[in-house]
Amino acid sequence: MAELRLSIRETMAPGANLMERFQNLRRLGFDGIEITASSRLELADEILRAKEATGIQPTITSAGAGCLIDPRKEERDLAVQSHREAIELAARIGAVGVLTVPGIKIRMQPDRPRIPDLRPLKSTPELEFDLMVALYGELADYAQQHGVFLIIEPLNRYEQYFPRTLADGIKICQTIGSPHCKIMADLFHMNIEEAEIAASLREAGDYLANVHLADSNRQTPGRGHTDFLSAFRALKEIGYSYFCGLECGVPGDQEAELSRTVKYLRETWERA
């Protein structure tokens, strides 16, 4: 039976610096950490020292600058470069891969333009999809060269136009056709966009390489109405072996709440 491997976003981990965060996560019962604020190549040695000292595994890196579907080439080039550096960092620190969210900046930054509608040639969504496929295809090849994954994250309609569902993310992967192009599932976004969370997880199967855990109110699991039991059963059925990471608000005393959440999730996984 697969074990639950729990991680958390770097900025959610208690501690004044990277080493303290790794140490506190070990004490609180976590297995891994998602590298976000420290997702820079020059910090690779510091991350590795913390990893060696604590046994906490860096699980993913994050691409920051630029936007892959921006109409301005300089922004796309910047995004490609930031993804390549995050891929290199993932390989250096033994992470699963780089997490990428293709359209959040287009949706959430009002001053950032979208590609214009060029119908009858192609519509804006069609052109954005073509850009994702072209640039993610190149990046998936780069990830394969480094032995890691490119991991695409669908978000809900209020944060991203596309991809929004796991099926949307799988469509990108299938069009690219690379075994190093994967997706991740975030239960908060799925609660908004998916008809049935467990069924969507089963259908995603081997395309899944990361999972984010947050309750329906985007708080720590067990604070809302999301059915984590059925979601965990689905993950067990597909043989999911990567990490499940917290990405959510933490109410009250941070350490006490994280400790409660770890206990709740591990007990729920055991019952699933």
Domain parsing of the chain, residue ranges: 6-271
Contacts of 190 (CB under 8 A, 6+ apart): 165, 166, 197, 200
Choose among 269, 218, 227: nearest CA to 248. Answer: 218
Catalytic residue selected from 247, 255, 257, 270: 247
Strand, helix or coil for residue 153: coil
Q: Which two tokens stand for residue 66?
A: 């630029």
Q: Which residues are registered as beta bridge partners of 52?
A: none
Q: How far apart are CA 251 and CA 26, in angstroms?
A: 21
Confidence (pLDDT) at 228: 98
- Is the pTM above the cut of 0.95? yes
Please tell me whether residue 4 adopts helix, strand or coil conformation: coil
pLDDT along the chain (272 residues), means of 10: 90 97 98 97 98 98 95 98 98 98 95 95 97 98 98 98 98 98 98 98 98 98 98 97 98 97 98 96
The burial of 121, by beta-carbon neighbours within 10 Å (0-12 exposed, 13-18 middle, 19 or more buried), is given as exposed
Q: What is the pLDDT of residue 2?
A: 78
Helix (H, G, I), strand (E, B) or coil at 122: strand
pLDDT of res. 83: 98
Residue-level pLDDT at 29: 98
What pLDDT does residue 64 have? 86
Instruction: Give residue 262's pLDDT.
Output: 98
Lookup: tokens for 73: 């080439």
Catalytic entry in 85, 153, 193, 194: 153
| CATH architecture type of domain 6-271 | Alpha-Beta Barrel (3.20)
Q: Is 153 a catalytic residue?
A: yes
